[in-house]
């Protein structure tokens, strides 16, 4: 039983290029990485190969860290999961000052859980319509936050959903890059070429850090971006 617990704590959830979970695996060297709720590194997969990328400048002697838990959660929820699954409490700066909790819908449990469900719907979409329904959710949320961004148009829906991603996945986060890429693809399919190109550029800016320029998903992103640019030159 103690051995099973140790394996459970040190395994990694393997995801495909679009951050969808496909299994679990043991990576002994990467299991040595400690946790921070504001990590300086992220993990992505290329097939079953685990890749570690820094997301900001790392000082000499600074420890490499990754996040063991979902960054959407407020501090108290992150702490609960860390204690339950990994048997420790985090004392990183993000947990000490808890300033970011105010950005997570003031830490209201029902609110951030609804946001998490909405992001999961886009992370594991059943159809394009499913993603569009989430943009509608993000629109209604943003209307509550700021009535100035309210509109029933599809274009504003996409813009609002992009705002939604930037708010809850700040900085260089792999899922943020993937979701922006998806929004850009949807904008492209709807003929919103200037908006699509801008969104795809945002995705590229993040993905080159989180995934690296040689990742297969980056190559897909570049193909879509080049197609969009070609269409705009013809118009």
For 160-204, how does the pLDDT look when each residue is reduced to its tens digit (9 = 90+)?
566 666 666 768 999 889 988 988 998 899 899 999 999 999 999
Work out the average pLDDT over 105-120: 56
Global pTM reads 0.75
Both 87 and 2 in one domain: the answer is yes
Domain end marker among 104, 135, 170: 104
Distance CA 62, CA 209 (A): 19
Domain end marker among 78, 104, 130: 104
> Does a structural domain hold residue 73?
yes
Read off the CATH number of the domain in which 183 is found.
1.25.40.10
Work out the average pLDDT over 6-30: 79
Both 95 and 157 in one domain: the answer is no
Domain count, the chain: 2
Average pLDDT of the chain? 78
Work out the average pLDDT over 219-231: 96
What residue numbers bound the domain in which 8 lies? Answer: 1-104
Question: CA 133 → CA 28, 155, 168, distances in Å?
Answer: 41, 14, 18
What are the tokens at 113?
Answer: 């859980």
Work out the average pLDDT over 87-112: 72
Domain end marker among 71, 104, 137: 104
Beta bridge partners of 12: 25
Helix, strand, coil % over all residues of the chain, rounded to 5:
60, 10, 30
**Could you report the per-residue pLDDT of 44-96, keeping only the tens digit for each?**
999 989 999 999 999 999 999 999 998 778 888 899 999 998 889 999 988 88
Q: Is the dihedral of CA 35, 36, 39, 40 positive or negative?
A: negative
Question: CA 159 → CA 162, 180, 207, distances in Å?
Answer: 5, 11, 19
Residue 12's pLDDT band (cuts 50, 70, 90): confident
> What is the DSSP code string of 56-72?
S---TTPPPEE-SS-TT
Question: CA 180 → CA 34, 122, 174, distances in Å?
Answer: 28, 11, 10
> Does a structural domain hold residue 136?
no
The C-alpha angle 196, 20, 114, rounded to 5 degrees, equals 80
Both 17 and 100 in one domain: the answer is yes
Which range among 8-17, 32-41, 126-135, 143-152 shows the weakest confidence by mean pLDDT?
143-152
> Does a structural domain hold residue 200?
yes
Report which of residues 42 and 130 the model is more confident about.
Answer: 42
């Amino acid at each position: 039983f103690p051995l099973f617990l140790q394996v459970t704590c040190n395994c990694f959830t393997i995801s495909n290029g679009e951050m969808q979970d496909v299994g679990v695996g043991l990576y002994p060297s990467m299991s040595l990485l400690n946790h921070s709720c504001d990590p300086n590194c992220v993990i992505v997969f290329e097939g079953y190969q685990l890749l570690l990328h820094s997301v900001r400048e790392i000082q000499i002697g600074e420890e490499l860290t990754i996040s063991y838990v979902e960054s959407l959660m407020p501090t108290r929820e992150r702490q609960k999961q860390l204690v339950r699954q990994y048997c420790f409490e985090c004392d990183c700066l993000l947990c000490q000052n808890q300033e970011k909790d105010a950005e997570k819908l003031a830490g209201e449990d029902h609110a951030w859980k609804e946001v998490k469900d909405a992001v999961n719907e886009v992370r594991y979409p059943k159809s394009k319509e499913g993603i569009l329904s989430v943009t509608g959710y993000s629109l209604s949320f943003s209307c509550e936050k700021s009535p100035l961004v309210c509109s029933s148009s599809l274009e504003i829906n996409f813009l609002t959903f992009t705002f939604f991603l930037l708010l809850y996945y700040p900085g260089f986060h792999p899922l943020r890059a993937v979701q922006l890429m998806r929004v850009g693809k949807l904008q492209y399919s709807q003929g919103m070429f200037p908006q699509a190109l801008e969104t795809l550029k945002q995705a590229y800016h993040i993905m080159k850090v989180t995934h690296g320029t040689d990742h297969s998903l980056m190559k897909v992103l570049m193909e879509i971006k080049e197609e969009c640019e070609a269409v705009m030159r013809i118009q």
